[in-house]
Structure 1
Amino acid sequence: MIIATPPAAADNTALRRIDVELGDRGYPVLIGPGARHELARFVARTGARRVAVVSARPPAWVPETGVPTLRVAAKDGEPGKSLAWVEELCGRFAEFGLTRDDAVVSVGGGTTTDAVGLAAALYHRGVPVIHLPTSLLAQVDASVGGKTAVNLSHGKNLVGAYWQPTAVLCDTDYLETLPPRERVNGYGEIARCHFIGAGDLRGLPLADQIAAGVALKASVVAADERDSGPRHVLNYGHTLGHALERATAFRLRHGEAVAVGTVFAGRLAGALGRIGDTRVAEHTEVVAHYGLPTRLPADAAVPDLITLMRRDKKATTGLAFVLDGPRGAEVVRDVAEHTVAAVLDAMPREAS
């Protein structure tokens, strides 16, 4: 359900601020009700004379920018996350007369922040971008960290660039409009945070869970902006998760797929002797707590999933996964295919 009339502006002293520390490319993430009303202030900081806003939300939910503004309806969702859409966006920017001294704003879920972020990175070789993530998934993860990408028919996020935003405004008022399934979908990224250093977030208020996820990601990105090592831990559950998205033609949403991938990661770590049975079971318990799926789709064929997982960005020579272990989560490369297949075969399936 979409709420037609948004709440009034909130007191910005109630907003939480988490800084992504990247020197002169660092930026704040503001979290809380009414955060979107800070947009004009951050646009002014860029010095932009005009702005292109690409939004998946109704006009009433998009705040004023303070400068002449082009408004473009977003193609929210995985099917629209393509190079063709990025090209169309850049064409719209050019028609509007956007220059490299202007700015772009995204308002939408993770697919919108990904695609608009890539368009901003490419247009005039880079213009400032401000993200207003409107889904729980985007607020806790996708909008932070500077990864932008679109899909190819061969796999997810295979064409992209690192392009840090100027600011991220996580307005929790937006979350009031989410359908129940989309809200639960966002918990997929929160559940995987349990196993990569955020601690147990179950039972905390939602804003605290978002802040914990953002703080964890900010610290990891500050240490490894371009995935040379430590940042791989953020992909916990994503290797199988991305494969499941493709295998189900995105019937399984990103957070749902990552949730199943997180359960699988626990089982695989157990099969490799990296963790014990109690920790393996904890993966299923945490994912189930958030109301997320824990079983493989009935129609997901193991050989197809393995083929798709071989296209994962971490898999440079063989199958690679981020797995729990005695030193915490880390990338484990060249995992034997027969072991992966055996763990997948042993996982429970949803009823067909």
Structure 2
Amino acid sequence: MTGVAQGAAAADGSSWHTIEVDLGERGYPVRIGAGVRHTLPEVIARIGARKAVVVSARPGAWTPDPGVEALHIAARDGERHKTLAWVEELCVCFAQFGLTRSDVVVSCGGGTTTDAVGLAAALYHRGVPVVHLPTSLLAQVDASVGGKTAVNLPQGKNLIGAYWQPRAVLCDTDYLTTLPQRERINGYGEIARCHFIGAGDLRGLGTAEQIAASVARKAQIVSLDERDAGLRHLLNYGHTLGHALERATDFALRHGEAVAVGTVFAGRLAGALGRIGPERVAEHLDVVRHYGLPTELPAGVSTGELVALARLDKKATRGLAFVLDGPAGAELVSGVPAETVAAVLDAMPRRATAGAPAR
């Protein structure tokens, strides 16, 4: 059963949170807490692998020993490196190392690393086991869990991908102490949107508890809808405009920041469509502001460009589509009139200057 449980004790006497992603034979644990990266050898021993390829965006001191013969590859973290060419290079390295279907691939990095390495693992030999060690708050809260792997095309984000569930996810909160302030706040974009998809108000919790609650909600959704047939669309709350903003700013606006602005927009759009009242619209702004995230559209990005980019979203099969709050909670709303979307965008405040958002 999907849920949050207290796990084994860490070296300092504290306990870890463990969430089980309930997918039957493909189910796996997500372990959250300080020092959980050191359990990697135990995880790999359970898999039974004799070799491991470790793709890491972190220095050696922060990349745990897998406990078996290993090839270490430096990751290319960042959206610009989420390409099929990088996936091909990884697979060539797997083959040269003699990796078999009984071995394992380990990703250690942010969400772009888990996405690309996960896709390489899904494609090589038609699928080899993968273990994720997400090192950013954004990746721990969202990208590493759920089995979505993907790379980008010039035409859009995550347009080439596969579902490939990991064997385990180790969310070591020690990694978060090394993040720059902007990158740490960036991760709260996914936590903020969880407020509106059934995770409850997480603002009063500690970071590990916020991660655990966010992952637990995602695990519940994924266990019911692994392949985006319906309910899993909820996880895209704030993402349709968010992805458009990333593209429109050439990724100067980071993913969590873009999702945060997209969440504010989703509240305004739901209000414009009569789905929620003014207080709930304002709650979107209040929650995003609480986490220190941007709430304004970036300067220099036109409404027309954002509407055009939103049309490229994978959910947009029947016109513009957004996950929006409503009387029965969040749901996917298709066929949203372009003129309504444009009017809401035009009414949103914009930053006076381009560049990194103000805090």
Tell me the TM-score normalized by structure 1.
0.97
Q: Tell me the secondary structure at the aligned position of residue 253 of structure 2.
A: coil
Query: What does residue 312 of structure 1 align with?
Result: 313
How well do the aligned residues superpose, as a CA RMSD in angstroms?
A: 0.9
Runs of 4+ in 1 over 4 A off after TM superposition: none
Q: Which moved more, 1:241-250 or 1:299-308?
A: 299-308
Q: Tell me the secondary structure at the aligned position of residue 229 of structure 2.
A: coil
Using the alignment, how far apart are the partners of 2:83 and 2:335 within structure 1?
A: 30
TM-fit CA distance, 1:12: 8.2
Query: What does residue 284 of structure 2 align with?
Result: 283
Using the alignment, how far apart are the partners of 1:326 and 1:105 within structure 2?
A: 42
- Decide whether aligned partners of structure 1 residues 307 and 12 sit closer, same or farther in structure 2, where only a CA change above 3 A counts: farther
Alignment of 1:1-352 (within 5 A): 10=11, 14-352=15-353
Query: What does residue 356 of structure 2 align with?
Result: none
Using the alignment, how far apart are the partners of 2:95 and 2:258 within structure 1?
A: 37
Q: Which amino acid aligns with 1:55?
A: S
Contiguous gaps of at least 5 residues in structure 1: 1-8
Using the alignment, how far apart are the partners of 1:78 and 1:12 within structure 2?
A: 38
TM-fit CA distance, 1:300: 1.0
Instruction: Map Cα deviations across residues 115-137 of structure 1 (whole Å, 9 max, x no partner).
Output: 00000000000000000000000
Using the alignment, how far apart are the partners of 2:206 and 2:12 within structure 1?
A: 19
Q: Which amino acid aligns with 2:178?
A: T
TM-fit CA distance, 1:64: 1.0
Using the alignment, how far apart are the partners of 1:10 and 1:245 within structure 2?
A: 40
Count of paired positions: 344
Using the alignment, how far apart are the partners of 2:214 and 2:13 within structure 1?
A: 21
TM-fit CA distance, 1:46: 1.1
Using the alignment, how far apart are the partners of 1:252 and 1:295 within structure 2?
A: 11
* Residue pair 1:321, 1:332 contacting (<8 A) in 2 also: yes
Using the alignment, how far apart are the partners of 1:197 and 1:127 within structure 2?
A: 33
* Residue pair 1:320, 1:332 contacting (<8 A) in 2 also: yes
Tell me the TM-score normalized by structure 2.
0.95
Instruction: Map Cα deviations across residues 139-171 of structure 1 (whole Å, 9 max, x no partner).
Output: 011000000000000000000000000000000
Q: Tell me the secondary structure at the aligned position of residue 87 of structure 1.
A: helix
Instruction: Map Cα deviations across residues 244-267 of structure 1 (whole Å, 9 max, x no partner).
Output: 000000000000000000000000
Instruction: Map Cα deviations across residues 219-255 of structure 1 (whole Å, 9 max, x no partner).
Output: 0000000000000000000000000000000000000
Q: Tell me the secondary structure at the aligned position of residue 15 of structure 1.
A: strand
Using the alignment, how far apart are the partners of 1:164 and 1:10 within structure 2?
A: 29
Query: What does residue 7 of structure 2 align with?
Result: none
TM-fit CA distance, 1:15: 1.2
TM-fit CA distance, 1:10: 2.8
TM-fit CA distance, 1:11: 5.5
* Residue pair 1:275, 1:324 contacting (<8 A) in 2 also: yes
Using the alignment, how far apart are the partners of 2:40 and 2:12 within structure 1?
A: 14
Query: What does residue 5 of structure 1 align with?
Result: none
Q: Which amino acid aligns with 2:177?
A: E
Using the alignment, how far apart are the partners of 1:180 and 1:203 within structure 2?
A: 20
Using the alignment, how far apart are the partners of 1:169 and 1:31 within structure 2?
A: 6
* Residue pair 1:12, 1:35 contacting (<8 A) in 2 also: no
Using the alignment, how far apart are the partners of 1:301 and 1:45 within structure 2?
A: 52
* Identical amino acids, percent of aligned pairs: 75
* Residue pair 1:266, 1:280 contacting (<8 A) in 2 also: yes
TM-fit CA distance, 1:109: 0.3
Contiguous gaps of at least 5 residues in structure 2: 1-9, 354-359
TM-fit CA distance, 1:47: 1.1
